[in-house]
A and B are shown apart, each in its own frame.
Chain A
Amino acid sequence: MPSGLADLLHDAAVLHRFVDFIEEYCKEQERSQTYVDASGLFFQYVEKLAAGIKQELGREIERAQRFPSRLPILRSNIWTLKNYLRLLHALIKPAADAHTLTIPAPLIELAAHQLQQVERMKNSCVVILLTSEFMYFQRPHTDIKDQARIVETFIPKASFPPKLGFIELPYSQGPSFFTNLAIYHEIGHFVYEELSNSDPPHRHIAALKSAIVRSLNKAFRKRSLDPETFAVAAKILGNWIQEIFCDLFAIRLVGPAFSFAFVEMLGMLGFLSEKATVIFNPTHPATACRFAEHVRMLQNDSWWNAIANIDAGQKKLLERLSNLPQSGYKFYWDESTPGPQSLVQVFLDVVVPAIRKLVRQVTPENVTAVRRFEKARGSIEDCLRVGVVPHPTSSSPLDPVSIINSAFCFYLTALPEVVKRFEGADAENDVAVHSLWTKRLEMWTMKAIEDSQIQDRFRGVRGTALWSSLEKKS
């Protein structure tokens, strides 16, 4: 045996065992749980990859025997593949945990349905991951996809499913509804990455990239940046762009309920302290800047007028922070190190207008959604007030976006009234009772959305040949 072959064989055997386990694990999950379709596609990819890697390992050993001088390189190749599997490994268990009993399935189905109406996103799907992080997060699928494309040159039978995204929900929030509206922001990251990588590039994405170059030239005009520094500055602007894009994208799809959910989430994470709200950091723009964009978009889309009479702390906070002067925004690398302030200014002046245009271009118009909300809100709130799942007053199903916004407004303004009505005045300040009734409200909202989806499906089938034949039989 050539020197070094034993080490290579050992490494290959360890990797073989690792992929063998992963392959069996995915198969077992598919047999024992029910998942949304996208998870199944992901598991099938992992299974094919595992089978392909096992075959490739055999070929690597054969190569090492024929060309012993290549042993160190072949060992590095095995190490690289193992690390790719490490990244996938971090996704597999959270994906397995997110079966339909642990996630807000009607909301996920609704978001997936709305995603199909976004420009260039037809036939896309999202894998839900339940994570131990107390933070919503969209896995950067661009890296995984780029890596998968290269791995495919070594393992040709394992193609990564096209237009597949990953979204993480904190496992503790799986069954809740209102805070899970944050998934719309995470879906925004998926959309942005898909648009950025599409071929040919989306016209407005190309415009945005030109805006980045213009911004950097303007911010650092006195000197030319070296490639590394330029890459860092462009990355920071890219991070800020995505956050604003995703917020506005979410608002376009789900209305002010997203802004309210966002305020709730930031509050839960402790990010709403007075000082923190004006700070830009390398990964996120200042909360005040984000809120200013929220309010601007809601005003332009007529949502702001439609919720004019909502007297809730969340809305007041949005309004107050959005009115803070831009001159007060600061950029810090970390808690104490100031960053280049000029980057913030060019971002606001040059880049943000391009983001607004992009969002409007790729998302469907929502004027009718606002009108439907205004029309249905009263009857939805009436149902919730008496503890009934909201239902339509005509033959048309309720619009899910109207249900979500009406229920959120109701939750923010009328929950104490419901508690008092059903539990009596003694329960007015009882935390456990408030928590229980929030949960109930969320369940009624979710059921109303599910009913609306079923009715919609029924309307789609009625009148078809299949419907007529079923009618005859009955």
Chain B
Amino acid sequence: MTPMDLQDRAQYLSLALFSQKVVSALMEYVDENKSARLKPSLAEALDSLLHAKRPSVSSQRKVVAFTSYEHLRTLEEVWSATDRGKAIRMMRVVLRAPKNPKTKAVANELIQLFAQLQNQALWNFEQPKPMSPRVMQRLCHPA
């Protein structure tokens, strides 16, 4: 593994760890009724996901996930646009009403979504793919 390979792969692992953090906080909430880590983890994930919708380089604050090509590509592979919208809505529901008994069912759905993201990130860490030709083409040939 060359150092550059390692660097590219490390981005996928960062996404897997980020997803694990969200999943663990949600599992603690659903299974053990603990919510200490719920709000910070979900707020971070929500912020990152909203940021991923519009391309920019944040000069004022650090966005934790979905800013690198590796993160965005993995997200694209696992979640459709509908899934993203759904995840955003579900995160808002959990953040807004964590004490509502119905919210746990929503949190459970979120666990499945983020677990899928974690598994895909781990897979890409093991089997990184070359840059998508679509991206290269868009950069080289202005529309």
Contacts and interface: CB of A to CB of B under 8 A. Distances in A.
B40 to A, nearest CB: 9
A283 interface: yes
B86 interface: no
B27 A70 contact: yes
A109 to B, nearest CB: 25
A149 to B, nearest CB: 9
Contact of A140 (B2, B10, B17, B56): B10
A80 B122 contact: yes
A231 B67 contact: yes
B6 A87 contact: yes
Interface string B53-97: 111111111101001110011001000000000000000000000
Interface residues of B, number: 53
Interface residues of A, number: 59
A151 B54 contact: no
A90 B55 contact: no
Contacts of B10: 87, 140, 143-144, 147
B139 A201 contact: no
Chain B CB within 10 Å, residue with most, of A79, A80, A133, A333 = A80
Interface in A125-146: 133, 135, 137, 139-140, 143-144, 146
A143 B11 contact: yes
B37 A153 contact: yes
Contacts of B138: 225-226, 229
Contacts of A343: 139
Interface string A187-223: 0000000000101010001110110110000001011
B101 to A, nearest CB: 18
B105 to A, nearest CB: 14
B119 interface: yes
Contacts of A229: 55, 135, 138-139
Contacts of A66: 31
A213 B57 CA distance: 7
A84 interface: yes
B33 to A, nearest CB: 13
Interface stretch (A232-240, A259-267, A409-417): A232-240
B43 to A, nearest CB: 14
Contacts of A151: 17
A76 interface: yes
B60 A201 contact: yes
Contacts of A223: 142-143
Nearest to B25: A153
Given A83-B122, A209-B58, A339 B73 contact: no
Interface of B: 1-4, 6-7, 10-11, 13-14, 16-18, 20-21, 23-24, 27, 31, 37, 52-62, 64, 67-69, 72-73, 76, 111, 115, 118-119, 122, 125, 131-132, 135-136, 138-140, 142-143
Given A139-B3, A150-B21, A340-B140, 7 more contacts: A76-B119, A80-B118, A83-B125, A133-B3, A146-B14, A150-B18, A235-B68
User: Which are the 3 A-B pairs with shortest beta-carbon distances?
Assistant: A230-B55, A209-B59, A143-B10
